[in-house]
Amino acid sequence: MLTSPDMEILIVEDEIEIAQLIQLSLEQEGFSCRACHDGLTALHVFQTQPPDLIVLDLRLPGLDGLELCARIRQMPSPKDPYILMLTAKGEELDRIIGLSTGADDYLVKPFSPRELVARVRALLRRSLRQIGITHTYNTQHFTVDLDQRTAYRHWEPNQSEILDITTLEFDLLSTFISYPGRVWSREQLIDKLWGSDFFGDERVVDTHVARLRKKIEPQPTNPRFIKTMIGIGYKFEDPPVQ
Ligand code: CA
């Protein structure tokens, strides 16, 4: 099971009812949660009892989500928590993503508790991989084995095929599959694949996405898995399998 009582989640949300709903949804899944309702209190809680993951509302009284996120990232801490940012519709998701805020993912309100739990699990699964507990990612149609550097496509439940992909395409697929449902900007993908010293045209990402689509999509021109987010970047969609 991925749900671990050792995983501490901090919820920062000024709308009390939403905070309670989030807390209830996560506690039902076995996560241990604390909630606070403004940025300064959150900063204090972060310093005294560092969490593994923070669900952080963008609009907060006092210190807003972006500023809190930046401060947390600069602060020395025994844990480097994942940050899931909550934004309201119309808060210019594209701009927020482009800002490299230090958040790991974004969820647009209104969202369902199920969606929230799925995102939290996806983030914590990445942390399990980093500490060496898991070395593969599984979704309904794909398996990526990071040790063997091999990727499989499952066409039918009992019919799998090793994908013939380049190193770069493997890294791109691994990045996508590490986090189904997350929206990636081109800049974020470049950081992941080439590092922050990349110099060139970010449209290079489109070229590699197009090549990967040809190898994994049933209909590359009408992609089912790697979706284009107009004006933002890309999103990989396939249900994770535990
Ligand atoms: Ca708010």
For residue range 6-44, what is the model confidence (pLDDT) as tens digits? 789 999 999 999 999 999 999 998 899 999 999 999 999
Q: Where would I find the H helices in 33-166?
A: 39-48, 65-74, 93-98, 113-130
Whether 106 contacts 97, CB under 8 Å: yes
Q: 214 C-alpha vs ligand 1 centroid, how far in Å?
A: 42
Q: 58 C-alpha vs ligand 1 centroid, how far in Å?
A: 6
For residue range 144-188, what is the model confidence (pLDDT) as tens digits? 998 888 999 998 777 889 999 999 999 999 999 988 888 888 888
Q: 128 C-alpha vs ligand 1 centroid, how far in Å?
A: 30
Mean pLDDT throughout 221-225? 96
Q: 227 C-alpha vs ligand 1 centroid, how far in Å?
A: 29
Q: 179 C-alpha vs ligand 1 centroid, how far in Å?
A: 25
Q: Write down the pLDDT at residue 3.
A: 46
Q: 21 C-alpha vs ligand 1 centroid, how far in Å?
A: 14
Q: 32 C-alpha vs ligand 1 centroid, how far in Å?
A: 22
Domains with residue ranges and CATH for the chain: 8-128 (3.40.50.2300), 136-236 (1.10.10.10)
The residue type found at 194 is: W
Q: Write down the pLDDT at residue 133.
A: 57
Please state which of the ranges 37-41, 53-57, 188-192 shows the lowest mean pLDDT. 188-192
| pTM over the 0.75 mark | no
Please state which of the ranges 6-15, 16-25, 83-92, 212-221 shows the lowest mean pLDDT. 83-92
Q: 188 C-alpha vs ligand 1 centroid, how far in Å?
A: 26
Give the three-state DSSP class for 184: strand
The CA distance from 234 to 242, in Å, is 24
For residue range 111-150, what is the model confidence (pLDDT) as tens digits? 999 889 988 988 887 766 555 556 888 899 999 998 888 9
Whether 180 contacts 242, CB under 8 Å: no
